């Protein structure tokens, strides 16, 4: 899947647990979130991508 030009994956690893991963530049960022709702897991990954893009942007500006 894509969000703001960043490709990411979200997969269910156990009931109520979703693992996610994305890459920004050379950094691979991964983790897991607990929810029974797939769309909520995806939303949480979108928020994390937004946060990481903001950190990576020069002068803290958004890259979008």
Sign of the four-CA dihedral 35, 39, 42, 46: negative
Q: Rounded to an integer, what distance in angstroms lies between the CA atom of residue 34 and that of residue 11?
A: 12
Q: What is the pLDDT of residue 37?
A: 97
pTM: 0.85
Residue 64 lies in a domain: no
- Residue 10 is assigned to a structural domain of this protein: yes
Domain count, the chain: 1
Q: Residue 41 sits in which domain range?
A: 2-57
pLDDT digits 0-9 by tens, 11-47: 999 999 999 999 999 999 999 999 999 999 999 999 9
* Domain membership flag for residue 22: yes
Structure tokens at 22: 């994305």
Structure confidence at residue 61 (pLDDT)? 58
């Amino acid at each position: 899947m894509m969000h703001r030009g960043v490709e990411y994956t979200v997969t269910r690893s156990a009931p109520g647990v979703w693992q996610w991963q994305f890459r920004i530049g050379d950094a691979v960022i991964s983790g897991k979130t607990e929810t029974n709702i797939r769309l909520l897991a995806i939303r949480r990954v979108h928020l994390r991508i937004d946060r990481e893009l903001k950190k990576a942007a020069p002068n803290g500006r958004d890259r979008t």
